[in-house]
Amino acid sequence: MNATMLPLTVPTCDCCREPAALLARRDVADGLWVCPDSGYTYRVMGDRLLRTPMPTVAPIPATAPTVRIDLSRSGYA
């Protein structure tokens, strides 16, 4: 069996004095990475990562409870 060696590269930031390894953000958008030290976000543009503002995230609407309990029953008194 022939084994193929693949280089493992981790993208690094350009905002810090000593470049830090970027972390992928899977919860926001495809191709969005964040610097763990500065909080700057980077987006994949072609074959590079460019600094980009954080996309706006829609707030989660607060909803009323969907379960109603009848407190007039004698068992709740």
- pLDDT for the residue numbered 72: 75
pLDDT at 1 over 60: no
Q: Which residues contact 36 (CB under 8 A, 6 or more apart)?
A: 20, 21, 22, 23
Q: What is the pLDDT of residues 29-76, one digit of tens each?
A: 677 889 999 888 888 888 788 888 877 777 777 776 677 777 777 666
- pLDDT for the residue numbered 65: 65
pLDDT at 6 over 60: no
- Could you tell me which of 29, 16, 17, 77 has the C-alpha nearest to residue 56? 29
For residue 65, what are its two tokens? 């409870």
* Segment among 5-9, 19-23, 35-39 with least mean pLDDT: 5-9
